Structure 1
Amino acid sequence: MVGNFMAPVALAFAVLEVSDAPIAIGAVLAARTIPMIVFMLIGGVLADRVGRARILFASNLVSGASQAAVAVLVISGYAELWHLIVLSAVNGIVSAAGLPAQQGIIPLVVPRTMLQEANVLMSLTRAVVAVAGPGTAGLLVLSVGAGWALALDAATWIVAALLLLPVKISGTVSKSSVVGDLRLGWDYFRTTTWLWLCVGAATVLNALYEGGLLTLGPQRAEGSSLGAGGWGLLLTFQGIGVLVATIVLMKVRLERPLFFGMLGMALFGLPIAALGFSTHLGVLLPAAALSGAGIQVFSLGWQLSMQENVPSDLLSRASSYDQLGTYIAIPIGQLAMGPLAAAFGIETILAVAGIAYVLISLATLLSPAVRRLARVSFPAPETNGAAA
C-alpha cells in the first residue's frame, strides 16, 4: 500500500525529468493501465490455479524490480521516455495478476468469522497510508529527487514480496484449460445477479467519478473562490469521513452488506453534484465527509459480499471481472468530460454527473438480489485451552 500511494507522485516527477512533452505523463500512465485491463481476466485464472500467495509474491517482486529499473535509469541520467513506457507496461501486466490474487487471499488466511474485522483493518491501514504516502513521496522528490523516491517505492514492493514467503497456500487443481477456467468464471459472473449488476453499475459510476470529481473538480476549484487550498480541504474531509466510518465499522456488524453498501455508494456522488451547484465550503465539506464515509461502507460491504458468497476456488476470477469493470470505463470518463464541459458548461456537467451517480447507485437496490443479500454465518473455529 505504501508503494501504491507513493508511486503516482514519484513517477510523475520522474517523467517530467525525462520529458516535458504534454502527453508524456499520460503515455506512461496509460502504458500501465492498458495492459492491466487486457490481462486482468487471465490474471484471475492464474491466481486461482497457481495459488494466490505465489502469484502475489511474484507480482510484488516483479513490480519492485521494474520500479528499481526505473529508479536506476532516472538516477543515472540515462532514462528515456520509451524506457519508462516499457517498464510501466511490465508493471501493468504483473498487476493484472496481483490485484485479483490480493482480493482473493484474505479468506484463505483469516477465519471466516472474522472477515469484517480483517477488512476493516485493511481499510484503516489504507486510509492512513493514503494520507501519508503521497506526502512522503513529495518530500522525497523535493529533497533527494524523483529517482530516489522511486528507489524507496521499489524497496516497499520487494519487502512486501519477502513478507509473503512464509504464506503457503496452494492453487486449485484444475483439469480444464485456461480457456475453460475463463469460461467457468464468466458463467458464474453472468448468472450471479448481484455480482454483474453491481459491477455494471460501478463501471458507469467510476467513469462519472473520475471524469467528474477528479478531472473537472480541480478545474471548477481553480476557476472559483474555492482555489487549490479549498480543493485540498475537500479531499481532506473526504479522508476524515473514511476514518470515522472505519472506526464505527470496527464495532458495528454490517448486515445486508450490499443494501447499506449501495446506499453508501450513493453518498459518494454528493460532492460531484454539490460542485455543480456551489463552491461554498459550508456545502462542499459536509458532502465530502459523507462521501468518504459512504465509500468506506460500500468498500466493506462489497468485500464481505464477495468473500462470503463467491466460492473460494472462483474468488480471484470473480474479482478479475470486478477489477475489469472498475478500470475499463475510467479513460472514457476522463476523456469525455472535458469536451462535454466545454460544450454545456462545467457546472451543468458536474451537477448532471453527480445526480446520475446517486440515481444509478440507488437503482441497483431495485433488484432483490442486491437488496436482500445477507451475511453468511460460519461456525467459529475450534480452539483448545492452550490456544485460547
Structure 2
Amino acid sequence: MSPTTDAVVTHEESGRKLPSGRTFIRFWTAQTVSQLGDEVFIVALPLIVYATTRSAGAMSIAFGMTMVPHIALGILGGALADRFDQRRLLATLSAAATAALLVLAAMLHFGAAGPVTLAVSALLLACLLAALLPGYESCIPRIVPAERLVSANSRLEVSRIVCAVVGPGLAGLLVTLGPGVGAIVFDAASFLVAGLLLLSLPPLAPRAAPRRPATTRNLLREIGEGIGLAFRTRSIRLGMLLSTTTNVCVGALHIVAIFQLRDRFDVPAPTVGLIMTGTAIFSLVVAALPRLQRRLGYPGTLAIGLLLSMVACLLMAKPAHISWVIGALALETCGATVFNVGWRAMRQQVAGAEAIGRISGVSRGVAFLGAAVGGWLGGAVAASAGLSLYLYPGAAVIAGLVALALLRLPGYLARDLAT
C-alpha cells in the first residue's frame, strides 16, 4: 500500500461512495501548494517591515495583526465549513486571497505600502486565512478514518515542514530582488493554484444530520453550539488551554529571533531565510514518525512538544552566541510540530466530521489569541526590559503545562471518547 493511500478510506455510507485515495492526493497537493505560499509570506512580511521601519516593535505589531482575525473569524469559517461544500468555500476564499495579495504587490511596486498599509494588508489577508484553515481541517475526517488520523496528520505536517524548509530561503531571495513584490506575487499564485485544485475534488462525505435552513440565525446558532461543545468537552478544553498558553509564552520567539539575527548578529536577509530553512529540517524527523506518536498517545505527544518549546525559551532568553538563536528556533519548530500533529489528530477524533470545522475554528481562534498576545507582549517586554523577563517566566509556565498534559489529559480523553 502506498504512503498516501494507506491514510484514506473508501467505503459506502447511505449508498454514496466516499472519497478515494486520489481525492486525498489532490486535497493534499492543494493544501501543500497553499502552505508553500504562506511560508514565503510569513518570512517575507517581517523582512519587508524591517526594511521599511528598522523596528522590532513594528515587526511584532505586524505579526500580531496577522493573528487577530483568527480570534473572531475562525469559528465563523468553521461553521461555514460544517454547513457548506468545503471545496467551493475553500476555492472562493483562495480566490479572494489571491486578489488581496495582488493589490498589496501593486502597492509595494509603486512605493505606496508604508507600515500602516502593511499592517492593514496583513490583517485583511489574515481574515481570509482565518476562514480557510478550519475549512481545510474539516475535510480531513471526511476523508480519513479515525484510526488513521495521526498518520494522515503526520503526512500533512511533513508537507507543511517541507514548505517551511523551502519557503524561508525562497522568501529571503525574493525580498532581496525588490521591495518584496516577488514574494507577495508568489503567495498569490499559490492561492490561485490551490483554489483550482480544490474545485477539481469530488463531493466529500455528506453530513449525517439534516441541515437547518441556511439563515443567519441558524448559522449563529451553530456557531454557539460549536463554542459550547468546545468548552464542554474536557479534552478539547484542556488542549486549547495548553496550545493557547504556550503561544502566549513563545508568541514572539520567532520574530525576536529574526530581529536578533538581523540587528545584533548582522545576518543578511537571504541567510536568515537559510537559517529558518535549516531549523525546519529538524522537525521533518519528528513529523515523519507517526508510529512513535501513536505509541506515546496524545498526552505523551503533547507533553514532549511542550518540553521542546520550554527548552527553546531557556536558550533564547539570553543568547550569548548565534548558535543559541539557531538552537532555540530548531527546538521550538520541533516542539510545535510534535504538539500540532497530536493536538489536531486528537480533536479530529473527539469532535468527528460533524463538528470538527467549528471545533477547529474555536481551537484556532483561542490559540491565535495567545499568539497575538505573545507577539505583542514579547515585543514590548523585549524592547523595554530584555528577553529574559519574557522567556524565563514563559519556560516556567510551560513546565506546568507539561504536568497538566500528563496528569489530567488521559482521564479527560478516555471519558470523552467513551461518550
Pairwise TM-score range, normalised by the shorter structure = 0.7 to 0.9
1:360 to 1:15, Cα distance in 2 relative to 1, 3 A: closer
Match for 1:45 among 60, 71, 79? 79
- Which has the higher relative contact order, 1 or 2, with Cα contacts under 8 A spaced 6 or more apart? 2
On the 8 A contact 2:69/2:127 being kept in 1, the answer is yes
1:252 to 1:269, Cα distance in 2 relative to 1, 3 A: closer
Is 1:350 the counterpart of 2:357? The answer is no
Say what the alpha-carbon RMSD is for the aligned residues.
3.8
The count of residues paired between Structure 1 and Structure 2 equals 374
Structure 2 partner of 1:258: 299
TM-score by length of 2: 0.75
Q: For the residues of structure 2 that align with 1:345 and 1:81, how far apart are their CA atoms? A: 24
One-letter identity of the residue aligned with 1:120: S
Structure 1 partner of 2:367: 326
On the 8 A contact 1:64/1:157 being kept in 2, the answer is yes
On the 8 A contact 1:10/1:137 being kept in 2, the answer is yes
Secondary structure of the 1:179 match is helix
1:4 to 1:373, Cα distance in 2 relative to 1, 3 A: farther
Structure 2 partner of 1:383: none
On the 8 A contact 2:168/2:274 being kept in 1, the answer is no
Q: For the residues of structure 2 that align with 1:341 and 1:89, how far apart are their CA atoms? A: 23
1:130 CA displacement: 0.6
1:64 to 1:181, Cα distance in 2 relative to 1, 3 A: same
* Structure 1 stretches lacking a partner, 5+ long: 378-388
Match for 1:36 among 67, 70, 74? 70
Q: For the residues of structure 1 that align with 2:280 and 2:158, how far apart are their CA atoms? A: 11
Q: For the residues of structure 1 that align with 2:408 and 2:160, how far apart are their CA atoms? A: 31
Structure 2 partner of 1:174: 211
Q: For the residues of structure 2 that align with 1:227 and 1:142, how far apart are their CA atoms? A: 15
Is 1:248 the counterpart of 2:289? The answer is yes
Q: For the residues of structure 2 that align with 1:150 and 1:341, how far apart are their CA atoms? A: 29
* Structure 2 stretches lacking a partner, 5+ long: 1-34
Structure 2 partner of 1:164: 198
One-letter identity of the residue aligned with 1:174: R
Structure 2 partner of 1:295: 336
1:82 CA displacement: 6.3
Is 1:151 the counterpart of 2:201? The answer is no
The Cα offsets for residues 54-78 of structure 1, whole Å up to 9 and x where unpaired, read as 2211111111111112223333556
1:280 CA displacement: 6.2
Structure 2 partner of 1:196: 237
Is 1:304 the counterpart of 2:345? The answer is yes
1:5 to 1:343, Cα distance in 2 relative to 1, 3 A: closer
Alignment of 1:80-91 (within 5 A): 84=118, 87-91=121-125
Return 362-371 or 304-313, whichever deviates more: 362-371
The Cα offsets for residues 121-153 of structure 1, whole Å up to 9 and x where unpaired, read as 211111111121121122123235522332222
The Cα offsets for residues 82-113 of structure 1, whole Å up to 9 and x where unpaired, read as 66555444322222211111121112233444
1:289 to 1:41, Cα distance in 2 relative to 1, 3 A: closer
Structure 2 partner of 1:125: 159
Q: For the residues of structure 2 that align with 1:294 and 1:252, how far apart are their CA atoms? A: 13
One-letter identity of the residue aligned with 1:193: R
Secondary structure of the 2:313 match is helix
The Cα offsets for residues 308-348 of structure 1, whole Å up to 9 and x where unpaired, read as 22121100100011101111122322333355457765435
Structure 1 partner of 2:104: 70
1:221 to 1:373, Cα distance in 2 relative to 1, 3 A: farther
Q: For the residues of structure 1 that align with 2:325 and 2:415, how far apart are their CA atoms? A: 34
Return 21-30 or 358-367, whichever deviates more: 21-30
On the 8 A contact 1:259/1:372 being kept in 2, the answer is no
One-letter identity of the residue aligned with 1:75: H
1:188 to 1:330, Cα distance in 2 relative to 1, 3 A: same
Q: For the residues of structure 2 that align with 1:139 and 1:335, how far apart are their CA atoms? A: 28
1:133 to 1:375, Cα distance in 2 relative to 1, 3 A: farther
1:322 to 1:7, Cα distance in 2 relative to 1, 3 A: same
Structure 1 partner of 2:247: 206
On the 8 A contact 1:66/1:88 being kept in 2, the answer is no
1:50 to 1:232, Cα distance in 2 relative to 1, 3 A: closer
